[in-house]
């Protein structure tokens, strides 16, 4: 596919952020996914062209990182953390429930193209276990039932909000965000949730605080 004029301009903007152009490759691959929904051979050629690299150079990088997909994912790409911290606390049960309900497995997409699944590793949210992601936005403290409810709602195109973030954007929209383009969603999701504040609240309850510095 030919990339749009806007994408071409965005590619130049990305390259301009770095002292050495090759550093732009990871964000450029996110940019490619924001237009294509995955990284095609054309996407690899596009990156190679704007960075004056070979397609072999780019393909070597694109295939190393798990967030770059070689075939289209769903409009809502669902991750279930199966690393023991989440898996044992419920992630494994959530995974098997979802696979059964939607009839797809790891790296597979529903027939309508709306939903894809991935078994994901630690998301740095172990305090919120079991954790899922939808287009990489946090879905915290999930159960098999709440997981099915959320994914069904996303499949129907309903509004679903991240536990600590905005209404779940599409896969392509979030790839554009990760390429470094502002989407205006920074204020959503609260500054910190009860779990992040557990220690501060406990300290306040007990009247404990850090000593002040001597002036």
When the beta carbons of 69 and 102 are compared against other proteins, the nearer one is: 69
Sole residue written with tokens 């990339």: 3
Least CB distance to other proteins at residue 111 (A): 26
Closest to other proteins by CB, 111 or 194:
194
Q: Closest by alpha carbon to 77, among 171, 177, 179? A: 171
**Structural tokens at position 201:** 């609240």
Binding-residue pattern over the window 58 to 77 for other proteins, x denoting contact by CB under 8 A: --xx--xxxxx---------
Token look-up 């997409």 returns: 109
> What is the smallest separation between the CB atom of 210 and other proteins, expressed in angstroms?
4
DSSP per-residue letters across 103-162: ---BT-B-TTSSEEEEEE---S-GGG-S-EEETTEEE-S--HHHHHHHHHHHHTT---B-
Measured from the CB atom, is 20 or 111 closer to other proteins? 20
> Between residue 10 and residue 29, which ones bind other proteins under the rule CB under 8 A?
17-20, 22-27, 29
* Ramachandran assignment for 103, one of left (phi > 0), alpha (psi -120 to 50 degrees), beta (any other): left
Q: Does 153 bind other proteins (CB under 8 A)?
A: no
Can you tell me which residue has the tokens 């949730």?
A: 193
136 touching other proteins, by CB under 8 A: yes
- Per-residue contact string for residues 80-119; x = within reach of other proteins by CB under 8 A: --xxxx-xxxx-xx--------------------------
Asked if residues 119 and 86 have their Cβ atoms less than 8 Å apart, the reply is no
Among positions 164-193, residues that touch other proteins (CB under 8 A) are 164-166, 169, 174, 177-180, 182-183, 185-186, 188-192
Q: Does 45 bind other proteins (CB under 8 A)?
A: no
> Contacts with other proteins: how many residues (CB under 8 A)?
86
Instruction: Render the burial of 18-41: b for 16+ CB within 10 Å, e for the rest.
Output: eeebeebbbbbbbbbbbbbbbbbe
Q: Which is nearer to other proteins, 6 or 66 (CB)?
A: 66
**Interface with other proteins, residue 199, by CB under 8 A:** yes
Nearer to other proteins, 116 or 135 (CB): 135
CB 68 within 8 A of CB 203: no
Tokens of 198: 């557990």
Nearer to other proteins, 111 or 214 (CB): 214
In sequence order, the β-bridge partners of residue 132 are 80, 139
Query: What's the closest the beta carbon of residue 153 comes to other proteins, in angstroms?
Result: 19
């Amino acid at each position: 596919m030919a990339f749009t004029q806007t994408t071409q301009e965005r590619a130049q903007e990305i390259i301009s952020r770095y002292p050495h152009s090759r550093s732009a490759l990871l964000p450029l691959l996110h940019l490619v996914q924001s237009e294509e929904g995955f990284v095609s051979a054309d996407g690899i050629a596009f990156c190679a062209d704007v960075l004056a690299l070979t397609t072999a150079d780019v393909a070597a990088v694109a295939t190393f990182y798990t967030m770059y997909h070689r075939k289209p994912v769903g409009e809502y790409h669902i991750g279930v953390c199966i690393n023991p911290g989440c898996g044992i606390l419920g992630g494994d049960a959530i995974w098997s429930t979802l696979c059964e309900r939607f009839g797809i497995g790891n790296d597979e997409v529903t027939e309508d193209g709306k939903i894809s699944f991935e078994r994901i590793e630690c998301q740095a949210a172990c305090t919120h276990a079991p954790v899922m992601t939808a287009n990489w936005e946090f879905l915290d403290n999930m159960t098999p039932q709440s997981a099915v409810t959320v994914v069904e709602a996303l499949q129907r195109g309903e509004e679903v909000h991240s536990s600590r973030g905005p209404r779940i954007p599409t896969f392509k929209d979030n790839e554009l965000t990760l390429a470094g383009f502002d989407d205006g969603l920074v204020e959503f999701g609260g500054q910190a949730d009860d779990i992040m504040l557990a220690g501060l609240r406990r300290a306040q309850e007990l009247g404990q605080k850090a000593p002040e510095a001597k002036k």
